[in-house]
Amino acid sequence: MLTRCPARSRRRRPARGSLLQAAGVSMLAGLVSGMVKIGWEAALPPRTPERDDPNPPMHLLEQLGIPAEVREATVTFNENQVPVTGLAVHHAFSVAMAVPYCVAARRCPAITAGGGAVYGLGVWAGFHLGLLPALGTVPAATEQPWQEHMSEAAGHVVWAWSIEAVRRALAPTTR
């Protein structure tokens, strides 16, 4: 259950000089959670191969007019072609969502409800049911199969849990 943020005087205060540390923790949480989400989608792919060509981040880049040679850029690692642009977008999004979560968690612990699960579901709904369909990047929510909703919703919960786990493990606190 979400509760209202406590009065300012009752909040746990971050340690002095910890803003830079908190920023680093937030970015690390975003990178780690991005890897977690990639692993989730490898195990439970949210889209059919046909619907995933291109995947939503790549389709969004196409909609924005990013040239194909940039969108399709790869690097070779261990004889595998790694889609560097797609991974960069995926991780940039993850970091961009982890930073405000971690900042808000310092000021209002209620955002950490369910270990971050509520936040993860909010991000899923906001993007996969709202913004991306509105932009035409993915079909309307009613036209997406239930498997996509299940994989994306559960994947965003696990993604947010991993942000919270990193934040709790590494965030500077008052001693």
Q: Give the global pTM.
A: 0.86
Structure-block tokens of residue 126:
């906001």
Residue 174 has pLDDT above 60, yes or no: no
Instruction: Spell out the domain ranges in the chain.
Output: 38-170
Residue type, position 63, single letter: Q
Cβ atoms of 46 and 147 within 8 Å: the answer is yes
Q: Smallest Cα–Cα separation from 150: which of 44, 35, 39? A: 44
Structure-block tokens of residue 88:
């960069």
Residue 11 has pLDDT above 60, yes or no: no
Residue 10 has pLDDT above 80, yes or no: no
Q: Alpha carbon of 64 to those of 57, 80, 126, 135, 140: distances in Å? A: 11, 28, 20, 11, 19
Tens-place pLDDT, residues 71-100: 999 999 999 999 999 999 999 999 999 999
Across 14-39, average pLDDT: 85
- Using CA atoms, how far apart are residues 61 and 84, in angstroms rounded to an integer? 13
